[in-house]
Amino acid sequence: MAGSSAVYTPCRPHAHGRLLPADLQPQQRGLLAWRTRARGGAGSRARASLVATAPARTATEEAVYEVVLRQAALVEDLQGKRRKEAAAAGRRRWREEEEEAELGWGLLGDAYDRCGEVCAEYAKTFYLGTQLMTPERRKAVWAIYVWCRRTDELVDGPNSSYITPKALDRWEKRLEDLFEGRPYDMYDAALSDTVSKFPIDIQPFKDMVEGMRLDLWKSRYRTFDELYLYCYYVAGTVGLMTVPVMGIAPDSKASAESVYNAALALGIANQLTNILRDVGEDSRRGRIYLPLDELAQAGLTEEDIFRGKVTDKWRRFMKGQIQRARLFFDEAEKGVMSLDSASRWPVLASLWLYRQILDAIEANDYNNFTKRAYVGKAKKFLSLPAAYARAAISS
- Give yes or no for a contact between 240 and 67, defined as CB atoms under 8 angstroms apart: yes
What are the percentages of helix, strand and coil residues in the chain, rounded to 5? 70, 0, 30
Interatomic CA distance for residues 279 and 165, integer angstroms: 26
Question: What length does the chain have?
Answer: 395
What does each C-alpha distance from 275 to 2, 152, 163 come to in angstroms? 5, 15, 23
Strand partners, 221: 291
Among 378, 325, 331, which residue's Cα sits nearest to residue 354?
325
Look at residue 203 in the predicted model and tell me its pLDDT.
96
pLDDT of residue 376: 86
Residue 53: predicted pLDDT: 40
- Is the pLDDT higher at 305 or at 47? 305
Torsion angle, alpha carbons of 256, 259, 263, 265, to 10: 120
**Mean pLDDT confidence for 355-382:** 93
pLDDT of residue 12 exceeding 60: no
pLDDT tens per residue, range 331-346: 999 999 999 988 898 8
| 292-318 per-position pLDDT tens digit | 999 999 999 999 999 999 999 999 999
Q: How many helices (H) and strands (E) does the chain have?
A: 19, 0
What would the mean pLDDT of 156-164 be, rounded to a whole number? 89
Q: What is the pLDDT of residue 362?
A: 98
Structure confidence by residue, pLDDT tens digits, 226-285: 999 999 999 999 999 999 999 999 999 999 999 999 999 999 999 999 999 999 999 999
> pLDDT tens digits for 199-232?
999 999 999 999 999 999 999 999 999 999 999 9
What is the pTM assigned to this prediction?
0.80
Q: Are 225 and 58 in contact (CB under 8 A)?
A: yes
How far apart are the C-alpha atoms of 94 and 107, rounded to whole Å? 17
What number of other Cβ atoms are within 10 A of residue 367's Cβ? 19
